[in-house]
A = this chain, B = another copy of it.
Amino acid sequence: MALQAGGVSDDVARRLRERGIRPSVQRVAIARVALASHRHPSADEVWEQVKERLPMVSRATVYNTLNRLVEEGLLRSFASAQGHTVFDPNTAPHHHLVDDATGTIYDLPWEALAVDGVDALEGFEVRDFQVVLHGRPTRRSR
């Protein structure tokens, strides 16, 4: 197998080590794909991509690693509109816009929308929230 360019994978390995995750070859490869992704991939989509470089990697390892990355706060996961779990390396607060025709999920910056009334909600203690919009992009360039 080809050696990986030092810089990026070292950075990923460091981030894993910081969270107490031993940076095995497999875990670094999986984390590289998942942390760089901007398309909210499912676990199997990550698996496909990782297999291009590391053909013998097993599905269980990909699932276990992704779940571990979520536990350790390096990734977020949530259910897509189709009910499948997808992963998002953007752990900062942001909103989502779902194109129901394609299933694509777009990130919207937190500052793009203002939500008023959360503090005044009666009967609930709110930990966090986001706006989920349904619609479609009007430009191709996204």
Quick check: B108 and A133 within 8 Å, CB to CB? no
How many copies of this chain? 2
Quick check: A125 and B138 within 8 Å, CB to CB? yes
Quick check: A134 and B128 within 8 Å, CB to CB? yes
Q: Which residue of B lies closest to A82 (CB)?
A: B79
Contact of A131 among B79, B80, B106, B131 (CB under 8 A): B131
Contact of A84 among B83, B125, B137 (CB under 8 A): B83
Q: By the criterion of a CB under 8 Å from any partner CB, how many residues of chain A are at the interface? A: 37
Contact of A124 among B82, B131, B133 (CB under 8 A): B133
From known contacts A118-B133, A132-B132, infer whether A106 and B124 are also in contact, taking CB-CB under 8 Å.
yes
Interface residue stretch chosen among A14-22, A64-72, A109-117: A109-117
* Chain B: minimal CB distance from A141 (Å): 8
Contact of A85 among B83, B113, B116, B134 (CB under 8 A): B83
What are 6 residue pairs bridging A and B, where the CB atoms are less than 8 Å apart in the complex?
A112-B117, A114-B116, A114-B117, A115-B115, A125-B135, A129-B131
Q: Which residues of A does B touch, CB under 8 Å?
A: 78-85, 97, 106, 108, 112-118, 121, 123-139, 142
